[in-house]
Structure 1
Amino acid sequence: MWIIWLVIAALLMAGEVATTGFFLLWFGIGAVVAAVAALLGVSSLPIQVTIFLVVSLLLVVASRTIFEKYITKHDSLKTGVDSMIGEIVSVVEASQGARNEAAIKAFGSVWTAIPVAGEEPLQIGESVRIDHVDGNTVYVYRPSHHSLLKH
């Protein structure tokens, strides 16, 4: 019977190569453990199947727990405009117009900047923090003033 378990293990592990997600691998290992049990003298098929299922399911649960811990442990890598949020930049053109549009220099480019609600118009040379980006417009606030706005 152990040879049948090894064939099952080989098929499951070959199937793992064709799929993603490390799922069939654990059942392949469970089949190897069942083959070892059969080789060591466990002749009862129900016990071999139980060993196969218990080992396979324990490995599936353990691997999901471990992989999820490592996958969700790190923040997702921020790219593009998302990487700008929270950065402190300089105002290069003062606010003007009804929307208090100004200009800031961030990452080598000049961006249209609008102060967030509650902020005064921006002045040249001020340091501001990027709150969010909407299209090609950056919404900014003064770092010291913003902490007062949130309370």
Structure 2
Amino acid sequence: MPDWLTNMEPHWAWLSLGVLLAAAEIVAPGFFLIWIGAAAIVTGVIAWVVPLSVPFQLGIFALLSFVALYGGRRWLRMNPITTTDPHLNQRGGRLVGEVLTVTKAIEDGRGRVRVGDGEWPVRGPDAAEGAKVRVVSADGGVLVVELA
């Protein structure tokens, strides 16, 4: 092992580990490593202020990791992350309520409508080409419509 690594003060190792774990959270997001990284940083600060043996530092790190993970999980359960756009990445859901023009007559419950510069398959009551229909819901890539 290199001399600089064996002569390193333990608090620098803890602080470095904490920063690396926080950086790893950016690369592999899962909202998990940040809590362990925070525990490592707090352990490094404690080891810097109060000289402790390495086994005691490991115990503090284990305890802080458990508390941070449990506390973070509990806080997220009590304060869920909500979105201001519930239909984000659900284009069919965004079309609910829109009035569209039938481009291929709806026969036997199936047809096509114009959406922007494209066409979408639809399911609904029979309607002639050119009729107006309102989107009621989306079932995967198929829009469910009613006569407008």
Q: Aligned pair 1:27/2:32, yes or no?
A: no
**CA distance 1:11–1:111, change in 2 (3 Å):** closer
Q: Aligned pair 1:90/2:100, yes or no?
A: yes
- Secondary structure at 1:58's aligned position in 2? helix
Q: Is the 8 A contact 2:21 2:37 kept in 1?
A: yes
Distance between the aligned counterparts of 1:45 and 1:103, measured in 2?
69
Structure 1, unmatched stretches of 5+, are 144-151
Q: Is the 8 A contact 1:31 1:52 kept in 2?
A: yes
**CA distance 1:15–1:93, change in 2 (3 Å):** closer
Q: Aligned pair 1:15/2:20, yes or no?
A: yes
Match of 1:57 among 66, 80, 85: 66
Matched ranges for 1:66-81 at <5 A: 66=75, 72-74=81-83, 75=86, 77-79=88-90, 81=91
Q: Aligned pair 1:132/2:123, yes or no?
A: no
**CA distance 1:12–1:122, change in 2 (3 Å):** same
* TM-score using structure 2 length: 0.56
Distance between the aligned counterparts of 1:23 and 1:83, measured in 2?
35
C-alpha deviation, 1:26, in angstroms: 2.0
**CA distance 1:18–1:8, change in 2 (3 Å):** same
**CA distance 1:69–1:104, change in 2 (3 Å):** farther
Q: Is the 8 A contact 2:22 2:34 kept in 1?
A: no
Structure 2, unmatched stretches of 5+, are 1-7, 26-32
In structure 2, what residue type is equivalent to 1:104? V
Deviations 1:53-96 (A, max 9, x none): 433332233334446777742247225x4454524222335745
C-alpha deviation, 1:129, in angstroms: 1.2
Q: Percent identity?
A: 14
